[in-house]
Amino acid sequence: MSMRPQIPVRTVESDQALSFIRQMGVENVSLFLTPDELTYDCIAAQQERLAGFGLTVSDAACNELQKNKSIHLNLADRDEQIERFNNMLRVMGKAKVPFTSVAWQPNGILRTDHRVGQHTRGGISAFCDQNEIMARPNAEDRAYTDQEIWDNFQYFLDKVIPVAEETGVRMALHPNDPPLACMAGIPSLIYNTECYRKAFAMAHGSKALGMKLCVGCWLEGGDDFGDLMSDIKEFCADDRILCVHFRNVDSTLPVFEETLPEDGYADMYAIMKQLVACDCNAVISIDHGFKPMEGFGGMPGSFCYPTGFMKGLMWAAEKELGKR
């Protein structure tokens, strides 16, 4: 099975937006859920509605649980939050949702600015300046140690992997973005390939833990993150890649801006060919689009062109490699 293009949606998307997504030739959607929507009835109703537009829920996530400060930093209600996560897995398992997301980023993605840039063609995109990020004070009331973060991750795995295996819902672990070893007093969990290898080893061989291969994060870190081409080969062979985030940037750290796929420094066709050559069967999405223009399609509109470009690269790579 080849890769499946995907676009994120919320439960509040209009019929027009869903029709627009399907007309782009996209059949898979990543369903963003709020905490009060984490019920079987809600997900099943969304699946039925989306099916009416020819769309399949390839995965689902709740931001409050995938980036949960209590879980990541061992706050007082950690066990309660982990149980909420496990209940989400049970609901998704009943609804036969294949995987959910985990991003060990208690304070989210860190960026310096959102503005028009040199490579954004007038669009508003995201910018990151490593020096500004590293100069920020502690985000919490104290600094944390690297060992604490990894111990908290192991505690989480020990509690959730049995439930994930029982329900059949895998977890796609996203890198820290930007991929710096420590930001605002909180060490990062995943900022290079070796961190991923360590995380998978801590899962004791369970395939319940997979990854979101965020091309953008690899490109932000450059050689400091890892060898993207060999990493694709390694993690495809190990059946770890559940989702690919297909994104380009104009430069490696210390300073970068997010660009359209053809405007960054990386050869995105070469990356696509490697994914196809390694028989990656993940869903694949454009990840970050420029700031949506509500009068021109909102979020689906901002994803439309780069998704089409990505689909064209995938079609050409499959054709060139004899897989289409």
Residue 295 reports pLDDT greater than 80: no
Calpha distance 30→43 (Å, rounded): 12
Structural domains of the chain sorted by starting position, each given as residue range(s) with its CATH number in brackets: 4-320 (3.20.20.150)
pLDDT number for residue 293? 81
For 51, 71, 105, 115, 247, the CA distances from 176, given in Å and listed in that order, are 33, 16, 6, 22, 15
With H, G, I as helix, E, B as strand and everything else as coil, classify residue 271. helix
Stretch 292-299: mean pLDDT, rounded? 79
Residue corresponding to tokens 């890649």 = 241
Stretch 32-41: mean pLDDT, rounded? 97
Calpha distance 30→227 (Å, rounded): 28
pLDDT per position as a tens digit, 93-104: 999 999 999 999
Calpha distance 254→128 (Å, rounded): 8
pLDDT number for residue 1? 61
With H, G, I as helix, E, B as strand and everything else as coil, classify residue 80. helix
Give me the percent of the chain exceeding a pLDDT of 90: 91
CA neighbor of 91 nearest in space, from 157, 166, 156, 159: 166
Residue 302 reports pLDDT greater than 90: no
Q: Which residues pair with 101 in a beta bridge?
A: 172
Residue 247 reports pLDDT greater than 70: yes
Residue 192 reports pLDDT greater than 90: yes
Which ranges of 14-145 does DSSP label H, i.e. alpha helix? 15-23, 40-51, 63-66, 69-73, 78-94, 130-134
pLDDT number for residue 305? 92
Mean pLDDT (the chain) is 96
Is the peptide bond prior to 178 cis by the omega test (within 30 degrees of 0)? yes
pLDDT number for residue 298? 80
Calpha distance 57→63 (Å, rounded): 17
pLDDT per position as a tens digit, 216-229: 999 999 999 999 99
pLDDT per position as a tens digit, 130-167: 999 999 999 999 999 999 999 999 999 999 999 999 99
For 3, 123, 288, 290, the CA distances from 299, given in Å and listed in that order, are 22, 13, 10, 9
pLDDT confidence tier of residue 11, bands split at 50, 70 and 90:
very high
Calpha distance 196→149 (Å, rounded): 14
**pTM to 2 decimal places:** 0.95
φ and ψ at residue 173, rounded to 5 degrees = -90, 120
